[in-house]
Structure 1
């Protein structure tokens, strides 16, 4: 592939001399979204979407960054760069790169179902498409968001009837904000872990329309949490921080909960298969909609997806990257901003 190459620093456009989501420090980094496996500290200059910018600053510090809107082109050495909605989390973008008639789109992470918060995924016609494959197995077929939110709301209501606190385990950037749409029809007594509060406050101050929540602090009496909802990052489940909420029930919100028994292995009471990634059919439909003649498959079930695409007559190849699977919900540091 001539326009984008795969290097030990990340995806590189030599014509424009920039990297997309580099995993090592570079001079010019174009960022798809602010999750830590795609946005890393140390680069001299960052380009990102306007809604990604405040969270990038929160997580990486006082970086040198340029924030742009979706569809607004930036030119570097004659290479046209533009950002387009990925639907993964707030501000998440696909990167469209065009040079001398060749178009490559780097998806980052994405989902095709509109969630009312992250921007609707936009299929972009291109010659080459670089796609994630986090949930690239036919078993992963998500329920529609309204139905999933109804299930979460009912679980909370049942806990309220039993004077039990409902603790939802969710990644602090993306899932935590999305879940508020399921919680607010049931209660306005919503508490969040400090890591989630930091992200929530930055997004609210930026103008993202999120409901008000309350940060969990040591000064809050235990009785205040009765019948409430608490959103906590994965790492908090193994900490003493949880003790203040007794009696409580926990539910993991992750696409991995699609597999029966996963919530029991994670020592929780319930699991909701709510994912910020495309499911199997979402991946296939997104790839086909690009019309790409060449597809590179990264992080996830690369071999399954690339083999399927090749069998369908779409040339595909696997690529190893340093991107992780944050939706695994097992390793996020509860103290991370």
Structure 2
């Protein structure tokens, strides 16, 4: 049998199963790893996702889509290919797609992170022969601090601003990142205000059993109370007329790209909080090692660097050219940032001390 998954103009295609994984053009049958806009698009004839991802997809693509949901680990067979979905730890309902046919196993990871959080099922390594991995932060310079440290920094910054009578604004992607931050905020500091793009997704998360603190829309809060409030808004709200109602506010941006000083300057915010829903370099390496795959295919991100490093470490690796990572809702690199990071890393696939392939996430 040739490759089980290939790239077609419509997207990643499972040849024996005759279905697509996160296709970027309309197809008859699509298996969706998660509901970010670059992976889940309108126009497919039939969608398959995790049960916990169904309502998220309906909220973003329309309630009338033809979709089936299966539980994590449940197996369905299509054209002789056994398909099961396994936690990716990225956002609510996110999954890796396991495909087995003729005794061979492939896994397409979609997007993933290995550090668990309160808003989605934690990443689950799946043993396979071939692993298709993302590489959004696939450079050795990307190493995240523990989530708790970043959340403590956000709460401390909010508390300081509140004590000074200044509103705090956090720009974060409306689906996933916003809810992850919300789940860890300290509501004793003050009110929590959410942008209109964030609040509907909060409802979907709550309906899915994720505990989030009480939130309000800006129209539902007295102006004087905004001085102690924290506001969660998508990046697109920055500089919009909507922001004027917050008066003298301090703003910030939460993203893995905030690790780079240039990215913080480009955003023009007061603070940058390093918080990503994607695996960092050690996380990518540990995830790949845990699959026990002898063959790795790298998609969207720092493909050449990761392929080179994996080949140097004895794996059969190559890249797939995809259309993922180009939607604001996902954590695609701001213009110029990836090239700057490559330059900083020296363009070499050499990990710094302690970043050996397969090292456990820090």
TM tier, smaller: over 0.9
**Paired residue for 1:58?**
59
Report the equivalent of 2:280.
Answer: 279
Shift of 1:161: 1.4
Work out whether 1:305 is the aligned partner of 2:309.
no
Query: CA separation in 2, counterparts of 1:222 and 1:330?
Result: 33
Q: Give, in whole Å, the separation in 2 of the partners of 1:94 and 1:187.
A: 38
CA contact (8 A) 1:3 1:15 kept: yes
| Counterpart in the other structure of 2:331 | 327
Could you tell me which residue of structure 2 aligns to residue 254 of structure 1?
Answer: 255
Rounded to whole Å, the distance in 1 between the matches of 2:208 and 2:123 is 22
Match for residue 144 of structure 2 among 142, 145, 150: 142
The correspondence of residues 1-337 of structure 1 with structure 2, limited to 5 A, is 2-61=3-62, 62-184=64-186, 186-187=188-189, 189-217=191-219, 220-324=221-325, 326-328=330-332
Shift of 1:295: 0.7
| Structure 1 residues 213 and 220: CA distance shift in structure 2, 3 A | closer
Cα distance, 1:100 vs structure 2:
1.0
SS of 1:238 mapped into structure 2: coil
SS of equivalent to 1:176: helix
How much has 1:329 moved relative to structure 2?
Answer: 7.9
Q: Deviation per CA, 1:251-296: give whole Å up to 9, x if none.
A: 1000000112422221100001100000001001101111111111
1:68, 1:126 → 2: CA distance? Answer: 21
- 3-state DSSP class of the match of 2:331? helix
CA contact (8 A) 1:170 1:329 kept: no
1:214 match: secondary structure: coil
Counterpart secondary structure, 2:52: coil
SS at match of 1:25: coil
Aligned residues: 330
> Greater CA deviation, 171-180 or 263-272?
263-272
Aligned pair in 2 of structure 1 residues 288, 329: CA closer, same or farther (>3 Å)?
closer
CA contact (8 A) 2:114 2:287 kept: yes
Listed one character per residue, the Cα deviations across residues 126-149 of structure 1 (whole Å, up to 9, x for unaligned) are: 000000000011111000011111
TM (normalized to structure 1)? 0.94
Instruction: Report the CA distance between 1:16 and its aligned residue.
Output: 1.3
Q: Unaligned regions of 5+ residues in structure 2, if any?
A: 336-362
- The residue matched to 2:228 in structure 1 has which SS? coil
Residue 254 of structure 1 contacts residue 329 of structure 1 at CA under 8 Å; is this kept in 2? no
Contact 2:84/2:97 (8 A) holds in 1: yes
Whether the 8 Å contact between 1:111 and 1:276 is mirrored in structure 2 is yes
Aligned counterparts of 1:261 and 1:185: Cα–Cα separation in 2: 32
User: Is contact 2:172-2:234 (8 Å) kept?
Assistant: yes
Residues 145 and 267 of structure 1: is their aligned pair in 2 closer, same or farther, counting only changes over 3 Å?
same
| Cα pair 2:87 2:122 within 8 Å, conserved | yes
* Partner-residue secondary structure (3-state), 2:197: helix
The TM-score normalised by the length of structure 2 is 0.88
Q: Deviations over 1:296-324 (max 9, x none)?
A: 10000001111000000111111110101
Distance across 2 between alignment mates of 1:92 and 1:65: 15
Quote how far apart the aligned CAs of 1:152 are: 1.0
